[in-house]
């Protein structure tokens, strides 16, 4: 077979294209995380993080439920079945858990809260620990990419291949956090589906132009209310409210979505009722005014 024919057969191989995509997908998340860490300075130590910062529930879920479990599995699979299965797990983690969930929610806090606020520093510290672990896991598979990331993190004097597996101590309530975020993440998928239907109908341009009402009863209602106003950041909507649903306590959560009737904040792009209430800043919502000129908005979960 000629060289040209061999090249053509490889280019037309769908299996080859699919496997190549598995190796390329983590790079987008890598670039976003590195840009976010660029202004973080020297990260807090684990002890300082636990004592002074108290990583939020959304960050801790990313560590505890997926990253630590994936790291353990990756070591086992690498020894038994080879690097290809590890690459599949890493690709799933980067595309679904990082890009499709965690980083998707995190962007609002990184873009809108004050640079040295607890909310933003918590996010940067979370990304630091995730990157420390993920870079080591990628090293045997994406060697050059992992080394490039490591040089940004640690400088050029050491190599990622000289490191041992990264360890992060799980909190005592790891199981509770895992269950809470698994439940909310399943509900989030249903909310996003309805928002997409609204977008296809031409009623909204993006999810931020929408509002969601969650009609719940009993334990479900209390569970959703425990997230407070942060619930809208998880769904990436401008408003998310929990409404008491009449009927049996065992009734499933009912979701209603609609287009927001309010104006769009020119800074954060959320559609809020309080836009323009500060006459000195007529185009900003209340939380942007607080983030730019006040003490900053409170963020607890997301």
Q: What is the mean pLDDT of residues 51-72?
A: 53
Q: Are residue 78 and residue 154 in the same domain, yes or no?
A: yes
Mean pLDDT in the chain?
80
Number of domains in the chain: 3
Maximum average pLDDT range among 12-26, 77-91, 229-243: 229-243
More confident residue, 235 or 142: 235
State whether 52 and 144 are in the same domain.
yes
Q: What is the per-residue pLDDT for 3?
A: 43
Please check the confidence at residue 36 and state whether its pLDDT lies above 90: no
Query: What are the residues whose beta carbons fall under 8 Å from the beta carbon of 80, sequence distance 6 or more?
Result: none
CA dist 61 and 181 (Å) reads: 7
- At 55, the pLDDT band (50, 70, 90 cuts) reads low
User: Residue 99, CB half-sphere, CA atoms under 13 Å: how many?
Assistant: 15
* Predicted model pTM: 0.73
- What's the rounded Cα separation, in Å, for the pair 3 and 240? 59
19 pLDDT higher than 60? no
User: What band does 7 get if pLDDT is binned at 50, 70 and 90?
Assistant: very low
Q: Considering only CA atoms, which of 98, 171, 161, 91 is closest in space to residue 130?
A: 98
The whole-angstrom separation of Cα 207 and Cα 196 is 8
E strands within 141-237?
210-216
**Does the pLDDT at position 16 exceed 60?**
no
The domain spanning residue 211 has which CATH number? 3.30.2320.20
263: β partners: 272
Span of 60-74, 107-121, 125-139, 284-298 with lowest mean pLDDT: 60-74
The answer to whether residues 201 and 93 belong to one domain is no
User: Residue 167 falls within a domain, yes or no?
Assistant: no
**Do the bridges between strand 210-216 and strand 239-244 make them parallel or antiparallel, or are there none, so unpaired?**
parallel
Do 187 and 135 fall into the same domain? Answer: no
Report DSSP letters for 129-178, one per residue. HHHHHHHHHHTTTSHHHHHHHHHHHH-SSS-GGG------PPPTTHHHHH
Contact status, residue 132 vs residue 67, Cβ threshold 8 Å: no
Under 8 Å between Cβ of 237 and 208 = yes
Cβ(86)–Cβ(22) below 8 Å: no
Token readout for 242 is: 């929990």
- Give φ, ψ of 299 to 5 degrees: -130, 130
The verdict on residue 168 lying in a domain is: no
Buried b / exposed e across 94-117, counting CB within 10 Å, b at 16+?
Answer: bbebbbebbbebbebbbebbbeeb
Task: Show the tokens assigned to 227.
Answer: 């997230």
Better pLDDT: 218 or 11 = 218
pLDDT of residue 191 exceeding 60, the answer is: yes
Q: Is the pLDDT of residue 68 over 50?
A: yes
Domain that holds residue 295: 262-302
Residues 287 and 238 in one domain: no
**pLDDT of 1 above 70:** no
Mean pLDDT of the 271-286 span = 94
169 inside domain: no
């Amino acid at each position: 077979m000629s060289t040209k024919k061999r090249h053509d057969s490889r280019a037309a191989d769908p299996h080859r294209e699919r496997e190549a995509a598995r190796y390329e997908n983590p790079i987008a998340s890598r670039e976003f995380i590195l840009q976010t860490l660029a202004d973080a300075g020297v990260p807090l130590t684990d002890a300082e993080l636990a004592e002074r910062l108290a990583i939020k529930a959304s960050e801790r879920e990313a560590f505890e439920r997926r990253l630590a479990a994936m790291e353990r599995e990756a070591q086992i699979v690498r020894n038994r079945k080879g690097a290809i299965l590890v690459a599949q797990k890493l690709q799933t983690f980067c595309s679904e858990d990082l890009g499709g969930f965690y980083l998707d929610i995190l962007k609002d806090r990184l873009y809108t809260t004050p640079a040295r606020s607890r909310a933003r520093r918590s996010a940067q510290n979370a990304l630091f620990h995730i990157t420390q672990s993920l870079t080591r896991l990628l090293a045997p598979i994406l060697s050059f990419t992992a080394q490039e990331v490591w040089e940004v993190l640690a400088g050029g004097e050491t190599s990622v291949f000289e490191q041992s597996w990264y360890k992060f101590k799980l909190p005592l309530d790891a199981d509770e956090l895992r269950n809470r975020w698994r439940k909310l993440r399943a509900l989030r998928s249903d909310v996003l589906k309805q928002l997409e239907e609204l977008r296809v109908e031409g009623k909204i341009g993006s999810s931020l132009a929408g509002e969601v009402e969650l009609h719940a009863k009993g334990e479900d209602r209390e569970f959703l209310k425990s997230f407070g106003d942060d619930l809208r950041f998880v769904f990436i909507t401008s408003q998310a409210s929990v409404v008491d649903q009449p009927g049996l306590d065992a009734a499933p959560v009912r979701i209603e979505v609609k287009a927001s009737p309010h104006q769009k904040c020119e800074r954060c792009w959320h559609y809020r009722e309080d836009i323009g209430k500060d006459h000195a800043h007529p185009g900003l919502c209340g939380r942007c005014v607080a983030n730019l000129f006040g003490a900053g908005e409170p963020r607890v979960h997301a």
